[in-house]
Amino acid sequence: MRLSRFFLPILKENPKEAEIVSHRLMLRAGMIRQEAAGIYAWLPLGFRVLKKIEQIVREEQDRAGALELLMPTLQLADLWRESGRYDAYGPEMLRIADRHKRELLYGPTNEEMITEIFRAYVKSYKNLPLNLYHIQWKFRDEQRPRFGVMRGREFLMKDAYSFDLNEAAARVAYNKMFVAYLRTFARMGLKAIPMRAETGPIGGDLSHEFIVLAETGESGVFINRDVLDLPVPGADVDYEGDLTPIIKQWTSVYAATEDVHDAARFEQEVPADKRVNTRGIEVGQIFYFGTKYSDAMKALVAGPDGVDVPIHGGSYGVGVSRLLGAIIEACHDDAGIKWPEAVAPFRVSILNLKQGDAAVDAACEKLYAELTAKGVDVLYDDTDQRAGAKFAAADLIGIPWQIMIGPKGLADGKVEIKRRSDGSRETMSPADAVARLV
Ligand code: ATP
Ligand code: MG
Ligand code: MG
Ligand code: MG
């Protein structure tokens, strides 16, 4: 991509409305545009990152055996009356009427709809286990939308729903999602810690929130520092095998949100020098809720003995759009964003430090063509900005690798490569730069 052809509306000034760094940087880097309170348009740079994050979430859901579908954003109020949540949900639910005065709502979550789909088709335990997910926009009319995409009203969520014959099987499904979440967040360069959590309006008795530590987070958390060093399962993890040793390892080290924190246990279990009380961002939550929805909505399957029983369910959410904010909170410096490679909007940027100089232009074009041909996502800054402005923009938008090409270096046959994450620089020939970055 040539920057001269791209749509990257960088802001010079710090937007006043942004209270936290991720919101400020997303606005300044031209990633999002607020259209109404808590409702954002995703501009090209932000959209590229959103898609990358979405794809990692998808790959890890698929790997764990979940199946993707897509449910609509609008739902019938009557469906929610079946579970009793239409009245219980309260003002966070956006209620809409169509021209026939039929009551609709913009879905804040999809337990009811997926249960309706399930019960229409699945009648036997032989079709279980089943885990269906989608990645779809949600609406919650948050009392206080703030911090940009971190607490939006319209936001992108991955939500998966598992269906099993009994509690033991449902816990197997729960464990698969637990492991998939460990992998998902680690692939994005995040340390997201599973913490015991309250189940809230979803209901049920077993739940973990996945939380990224950050001072600007909205949840208070208490952890044993050791949890930060636990190993994340590799891509070869066997989802059909026994996952309980992994779950045990992660859940036996103290980590809890303030809602369920047990101060006495914390002090008893965790040595003083390992106690951490800080804040964090909830990037995902998993629930086992048993027969809450299947009882109310009659989602029954015939068991091996031919008797109909309500299925045991779980639901598993990831805040896909919130993750952009969480990643930036974790990966930035005073100059801007430092994208982890896996989610970066482009992997490499080429900075032409003397646009219009025939030799420099030619070297940049050649490098741009070679890297692009090798499948590298490159943003080529071919604008006529000064070098200083190009450096600042590149640091702000946080592309992991910058290749700087100017007349001086080029006279010696050299370009400079800067790694955004640690600022380290190296000088090498353009050919070596290509070899390094493919
Ligand atoms: P919160 O405690 O932040 O209000 P929640 O517990 O209400 O979140 P869940 O119902 O667990 O949210 O939804 C699953 C995930 O969706 C959350 O873990 C979070 O990452 C994301 N999410 C929830 N609300 C929002 C929002 N308003 N804006 C962006 N992401 C959100
Ligand atoms: Mg909420
Ligand atoms: Mg919550
Ligand atoms: Mg939650």
- pLDDT tens sequence across 68-120: 999 999 999 999 999 999 999 999 999 999 999 999 999 999 999 999 999 99
Question: How close is the Cα of 237 to the center of ligand 1, in Å?
Answer: 28
Three-state secondary structure call for residue 210: strand
State the ligand closest to the CA atom of 142: 1
- Average the pLDDT over 372-394 and give the result: 97
Q: How far is the CA of 210 from the centre of ligand 1 (A)?
A: 11
Contact 176, 64 (CB under 8 A): yes
Task: Give me the percent of the chain exceeding a pLDDT of 90.
Answer: 97
* Rg of the chain (C-alpha set): 24
pLDDT of residue 198: 76
204 has a pLDDT exceeding 70: no
* Neighbouring C-alpha atoms within 13 Å toward the C-beta of 403: 31
Overall average pLDDT of the 247-260 stretch: 94
Ligand 1: atom nearest CA of 140 is 27
Nearest CA to ligand 1 atom 16: 319
Average pLDDT over residues 173-182: 98
- Per the DSSP assignment, residues forming a β-bridge with 193 are 211
Q: How many CB atoms neighbour CB 276 within 10 A?
A: 16
Crossing angle of helices 244-251/167-187, nearest 10°?
70
Residue 191 above 70 pLDDT?
A: yes
**CA gap 121, 151 in Å, rounded:** 36
- Residues within a 6 A CB radius of ligand 1: 109, 140, 142, 151-152, 155, 157, 282-285, 317, 319, 321-322
Pocket-testing residue among 212, 322, 323, 328, ligand 1, by greatest number of atoms within 8 A of Cβ? 322
Q: What spacing in Å lies between the alpha carbon of 4 and ligand 1's midpoint?
A: 37
Ligand that comes closest to the CA of residue 157: 1
pLDDT exceeds 60 at position 401: yes
DSSP-derived secondary structure letter, 130 = E
**Closest ligand relative to 140 C-alpha:** 1
**Count of other CB atoms within 10 angstroms of residue 247:** 18
d(CA 193, CA 210): 5
CB 416 within 8 A of CB 366: no
How far apart are alpha carbons 315 and 260 in whole angstroms?
20
- The overall average pLDDT reported for the chain is 97
Nearest CA, atom 23, ligand 1: 319
Residue nearest to atom 13 of ligand 1 (CA): 317
As residues whose CB is below 5 A from the ion ligand 4, the structure lists 285
Flag whether pLDDT at 201 surpasses 90: no
Ligand found nearest the CA of 210: 1
Phi, psi of 316 (to 5 degrees): -145, 105
| DSSP 8-state class, residue 70 | -
**Nearest protein Cα to ligand 1, atom 31:** 319
Tokens of 157: 């969520």
Counting ligand 1 atoms within 8 A of each CB, the residue from 40, 53, 111, 157 with the most, and so the one to mutate, is: 157
Ligand nearest to the CA of 217: 1
Asked if 329 and 319 count as a contact pair (C-beta separation under 8 A), the reply is: no
Model pLDDT for residues 301-322, shown as the tens digit of each residue: 999 999 999 999 999 999 999 9
CA 144–ligand 3 middle distance (angstroms): 14
Read off the pLDDT of residues 255-279 as tens digits, 9 standing for 90 and up.
999 999 999 999 999 999 999 999 9
Going from the Cα of 324 to the center of ligand 4, the distance in angstroms, rounded, reads 17
pLDDT of residue 197: 85
Residue 203 has pLDDT above 80, yes or no: no
Q: Whose alpha carbon is nearest atom 15 of ligand 1?
A: 319
